Amino acid sequence: MTQPELPNGLIETLGAGTTAEAAERLVAAIEGNDKLRLIAQVDHAAGAGSVGLELPPTVEVFFGNPALGTPLMHIAATVAIDLPQKILIIETAEGVRVLHNDPNYLAERHGIPSDTPQLEVVAGALQNLANKAAGL
């Protein structure tokens, strides 16, 4: 099965293993970083199952770093609609898809200058966490 084209602003990292394993690695990486705060973990497949519907294993993890997000909100308060950060993990026949928002896309969406220093830090942190979740 071919993966669908990604919507604008999403970055994907492919990995092996299961959604549960990827989510466990991701949560461990977040909790092991004293700059990050785990906000929530949502099991979308369990939610679907609770109303008699089905989804492949799909987990979304919400987390943040107020030291990075707050300055962005000072520049453009509307960026708060896209915060805290989130990583979506979907299990497919081909492996695990780990997806997150591209901070540069969010900056463009909210009119944050592309040279804002926090954007590069956020982009690196998100990719590092995505790689850990994917088992890379």
15 in Cβ contact with 134 (< 8 Å): yes
The reported pLDDT for the residue numbered 4 is 59
Q: How far is CA 106 from the centre of its chain?
A: 13
Domain hosting residue 84, numbered range: 14-134
Q: How many CB atoms lie within 10 A of CB 87?
A: 24
Q: Compute the distance between CA of residue 79 and CA of residue 51 in angstroms, rounded to an integer.
A: 32
Here the CATH number for the domain that contains residue 130 is 3.30.310.70
Q: Which of 104, 96, 120 is nearest to 3 (CA)?
A: 96
In-domain check, residue 7: no
One pLDDT digit (tens) per residue for the chain, 136 residues: 445 578 889 999 999 899 999 999 999 999 999 999 999 999 999 999 999 999 999 999 999 999 999 999 999 999 999 999 999 999 999 899 999 999 999 999 999 999 999 999 999 999 999 999 999 9
Residue 54 identity = E
For residue 8, tell me if it sits in a domain. no
Say how many domains are in the chain: 1
Cα radius of gyration rounded to whole Å, the chain: 15
